[in-house]
Structure 1
Amino acid sequence: MSPTSRGNPVVCLVRPPGVETFRIGTSTLVPPLGLAYIAGALEANGCRVHVIDALAEAPKTHTRYFQGYLVGLALADVAARVPADARVVGIACMFTHEWPMVVHLVRLIKERRPDVCVVVGGEHVTAMPEFSLVTSRADVLVLGEGEETTVELVAAVTSETSLDAVEGIAFRRNDEIVVNRRRARHLAIDDIPRPAWHRFDLKTYHEHRFVGGVYSSSLTVPMLATRGCPYQCTYCSSPNMWTTRWIARDPSAVADEMEHYIAEYGAGNFPFYDLTAVIQKEWIVAFCREIIARKLDITWQLASGTRSEAIDGEVAELLKGSGMINMAYAPETGSDLTRRYIKKKIRSERLFASIEAAAKAELSVAAYMVIGFPHDGPQEMRDTVVFLREIARRGVNDVGSGYYMALPGTELFHTLYEKGAVAIDRAYFRHILNAHQMIPAASYSDQLGRFALFYWKLRFVFAFYLTRLRVLGMRAVLAAIAQALSGRTHSAKLQTGVRVALRSGLGSVKTRFGGSRWMSPEDETRLFAPWDAIYQQIVIHALRLDHDVSRRLRLAEGLGPP
């Protein structure tokens, strides 16, 4: 997709190949909302933007990864497509399991273009900035909310001025790693330019069902209505990425954006990727009424889950009337003790009332559960089985159960690392990618091993869906299965999950027994080998620092990027 606004600096933004493995759940291969926002901000400030969307440009190409497989252009082909006049290359790295791939991609780009400034942004590098710079050849990292920081960074790079005053970045200066002060959150989020979706092939994403939430037969465009989350759950990376400040957009501005996508792209389905969209009843009521007043013939979803406190009978009816087809709660566990341990501020009775209101309004409701928190034992698992039967009776349609992931930058991760329960090696990155497989790659529970967790996952699934079968009857279940296998809009997450399982299972088998690898087994071993020692050095250094100011790390001799 060719650059525009000739005469200004060229920034090449890269969406790397997607990472997939066999699992039952909604798709994680989705249009890159964060990168589209960065593209929009750069264009609004006069930059020429060139996008390499590795996933959309080769959606049928699979490459064997260290675990699972990559979907999209081969990494060498991505590097070869960087324009000759690009001054800055920006790469998105949202998830930790993508980091090994990004390290290799950065190396390939720097081998071809040692003069270009390679920038990486996303939740992973925000959680592990020193580690990310030491283990890769990236020049700069963007930490946290990225639009303002990226615009200022590009201006500094193209004018060849110092990076010391650019807040929200980390960078390499000779043999020193510098992490600048974090940038304050952008409060006027309605002023942030819209995502530059004209730079991405949304039709290809739709045709290959690379969309989040429940599948819709209408063209899908991802959205954000709010940013941040006010809660401090110990397993979640949001406090480190976004702080605990929740900021909502003007409901009418959100509806304006939806209308624009309807007119521009023929969009009809809008999954919202807000961390916690429904907090204030007044806001969600105003938003629903805005959609209804405009008579928008659309569907929309809360694909990432939400809180239950603001959803009562009135709100549930408005959600249904405005086109909401799917929403999810995230109680995580049925154990009150575990909720206290992970700082999950939720009351079961209030959740049950919200579920019943949503069910009465005929909304499709899912619940997300996490298996194997470090505190969990058999009693917490039994409590969750009872809880799952209860929410099945009260109207939840689907449940998704994933294994606990020790995400970097979270309170629980730091606790586990200090205990020696986590090593930053190949197994660590594999366990994050395997969180939704049948058998986990690791267990961080003191009382439950990997196969015990698998047993409890089966118990969870059977407890929930057998209860739903008794509630709905076999005829309704068979109709739902038929709908899952059709091309029609799905009515429940499980239907979409079945399609994803078929696709990801076939892809896993094909790449396991044929096709190319992302790198040789020997190179893969060498890539991961020093990473835990690197992280240990960084942790020892970080204990002596005040993280509210800029910080520096001088590399030990011989310890650096490949």
Structure 2
Amino acid sequence: MRIGDAFSLFANPEPDSDRVITLIAPPVFFSKNSYSTPLTLPLGLAYLAAALEKAAYKVKIIDCRGADADNVRLTPDGRFNMQGMDIKKSIKAIDPKTDIIGVSIMFSQEWPQVRDYIKQIREAFPDASIIVGGEHPTAMPEYSLRDCPAIDYVVRGEGELTLLDVVHRLRTGSVVEEVAGVCYIANNVFIETSISARMADIKEMPRPAWHLIDVEPYFQPNFTMGISHGRNMAMLATRGCPYQCTFCSSPSMWTTRYVMRPVSDVVDEIEDHVKEFGANSIDFYDLTAIVKRDWIIQFIAELDRRNLNITWQLPSGTRSESLDEEVIQGLARTGCEYLVYAPESGSKRTLEMIKKRVNLDNLEKSIRIAVKNGIITKVNFIIGFPFETRREILETLRFVLKLALIKVDDCNITMFSPYPGSELFRELYEEGAIGEIDDEYFALLMTQFDFTIARTFCRAVNPWEIVLYRVAGMSLFYGLSYLRAPGKIVRLITSVFRSRFQPHSLFEQRIFDFAVRARRTLLEKKAAS
């Protein structure tokens, strides 16, 4: 089915009805010891809302995280932080005429808190149909439905057309259970239909429905995924990832189909963001933005032709195969300021084991060119894979220090966590290494930004030893990075206290984030005393 046909086939059967579909982005939940809390625009919900509006449905979005972005506090149990609108306040904000509620659940570590939130929504709206989607329910549909009976349906994978079909059937009284990409419980039996087909021509999709969201809170300089320029806007140029890394849940969510939007369509949207929102930086949230060299060359040429004079960034990580000197010079010339490489390991054996098809020599060469061209560069690594030995972890750390010496700006070293939907999760679960899936398991997934948790699945190396390698690796990286350029230390210290802070690396961005939160907490305590 063509995308355009779906908007007619699944159009609102009651266009004059006042019934409302409410889509909800829950508050953000993260470890109370976290050193980083990037706040990202709810791009997926905005796309879903746009598809529903295109089919003439009345849609509202409750964006809990952006609606009260400055409100960071502990959860009632004191174990985690939550950011965004108060739970009860957000439920009161749901339009009473709502008959269908959609909840986005992207990250599994937030599941226990979002589950409890959905239960409260059910209490307030006992007759509404509750549908959930996103990375977590796609990876664990049966678990999500059984752990939270308040949910009626799970929409798996790419959600726009599946949700349209489900909504149309609910409004017409047809059989929802026949829709591809839907999971549900019937008579205590878990039922999963065939996976829905990926969209082939995403140019036919309407642009995200940003008019349903207040985007201004996301333009604060202390909450951003990349380097803040004050008005960073989110976009997608591609969908999916063609690779099959064993630690990643992307194949479960997107399959391995990789779809690119036409270059002209992407640049048109950039221009629209500049005109409508005064955007001065574009953050591409793509899983793997640069795969096809021909596409990125065309993109660079179109930016050159239009002379937009805007900064753009790739904060999610990308491949290095297409990033040769010609491409990187084009990136720098057209305003690409921030580029994240994701080698994941400095060990060739580890790369083979996790199916990460990357050549470290070529990657290093690409990084050197990016640094030479003045692009802020970051590298992502994971240590503590189940099969890794001490030697392989140390190979990664040696590669990290090598990159520090060539003046890479940022580095993140995380400890491996078995993420639902990934190949390694399935292997570890089947062999009993993970144990029971419960709230404690999901709390374990908070380790990405928390140095105080030492649970690992590495068979050869002690958990606290891995924590030590992580801390030592990042400390040595930034120590070397700043010692090689001592002026950066002075710049960082002085700029944090200026009224207009402009970071020159993600490390500086996070230092500023922390300073802003600490300052705000101090002022709140003074006001309360």
TM-score, normalised relative to structure 1: 0.86
Deviations along 1:479-533, one digit per CA (max 9) or x if unpaired, are 244345543332211111212344567899999xxx9xxxxxxxxxxxxxxxxxx
Deviations along 1:51-85, one digit per CA (max 9) or x if unpaired, are 11112222233442353211122222222222111
Deviation at 1:9, TM superposition (A): 4.3
Is 1:155 aligned to residue 165 of structure 2?
A: no
**Larger deviation, residues 289-298 vs 123-132:** 289-298
Cα 1:483/1:312, change in 2 over 3 Å = farther
Structure 2 match to 1:499:
512
Structure 2 match to 1:10:
20
Give the match's secondary structure for 1:104. helix
Q: What is the rounded CA distance, in whole Å, between the counterparts of 1:377 and 1:503 in structure 2? A: 40
1:132 to 144, 147, 163: 144
Q: Where do 1:101-112 residues align within 5 Å?
A: 101-112=113-124
Deviation at 1:272, TM superposition (A): 0.5
Q: Where do 1:18-29 residues align within 5 Å?
A: 18-22=28-32, 27-29=37-39
Cα 1:41/1:153, change in 2 over 3 Å = same
Q: Where do 1:58-207 residues align within 5 Å?
A: 58-65=68-75, 67-136=79-148, 137-207=150-220
Q: Do 1:21 and 1:505's aligned partners in 2 also have CA atoms closer than 8 Å? A: no
2:352 to 325, 336, 340: 340
Q: What is the rounded CA distance, in whole Å, between the counterparts of 2:141 and 2:334 in structure 1? A: 42
Residue 45 of structure 1 aligns with an amino acid whose one-letter code is: A
Q: What is the rounded CA distance, in whole Å, between the counterparts of 2:494 and 2:139 in structure 1? A: 43
Identity of aligned residues (%): 33
Unpaired segments ≥5 residues, structure 2: 1-14
Deviations along 1:317-375, one digit per CA (max 9) or x if unpaired, are 11111111101001111111111111111111110110111112111110011121112
Give the match's secondary structure for 2:85. coil
Structure 1 match to 2:481:
468
Structure 2 match to 1:262:
274
Structure 2 match to 1:421:
433
Deviations along 1:116-166, one digit per CA (max 9) or x if unpaired, are 001111000000000010111100111000111111111011111101221
Q: Do 1:401 and 1:436's aligned partners in 2 also have CA atoms closer than 8 Å? A: no
Cα 1:470/1:208, change in 2 over 3 Å = closer
Q: What is the rounded CA distance, in whole Å, between the counterparts of 1:91 and 1:492 in structure 2? A: 34
Deviations along 1:277-298, one digit per CA (max 9) or x if unpaired, are 1111111111122112111121
Q: What is the rounded CA distance, in whole Å, between the counterparts of 2:247 and 2:518 in structure 1? A: 28
Residue 177 of structure 1 aligns with an amino acid whose one-letter code is: F
Deviations along 1:176-203, one digit per CA (max 9) or x if unpaired, are 3221111011010111111111111111
Is 1:284 aligned to residue 289 of structure 2?
A: no
Give the match's secondary structure for 1:222. strand
Cα 1:161/1:509, change in 2 over 3 Å = farther
Q: Do 2:21 and 2:98's aligned partners in 1 also have CA atoms closer than 8 Å? A: yes
Deviations along 1:180-232, one digit per CA (max 9) or x if unpaired, are 11101101011111111111111112136332111222x12111001111111
Deviation at 1:419, TM superposition (A): 2.1
Deviations along 1:539-558, one digit per CA (max 9) or x if unpaired, are xxxxxxxxxxxxxxxxxxxx
Q: Do 2:18 and 2:97's aligned partners in 1 also have CA atoms closer than 8 Å? A: no
2:408 to 374, 389, 396: 396
Unpaired segments ≥5 residues, structure 1: 516-562
TM-score, normalised relative to structure 2: 0.91
Structure 2 match to 1:450:
463
RMSD: 2.3
1:361 to 354, 373, 397: 373
Is 1:325 aligned to residue 322 of structure 2?
A: no
Give the match's secondary structure for 2:283. strand
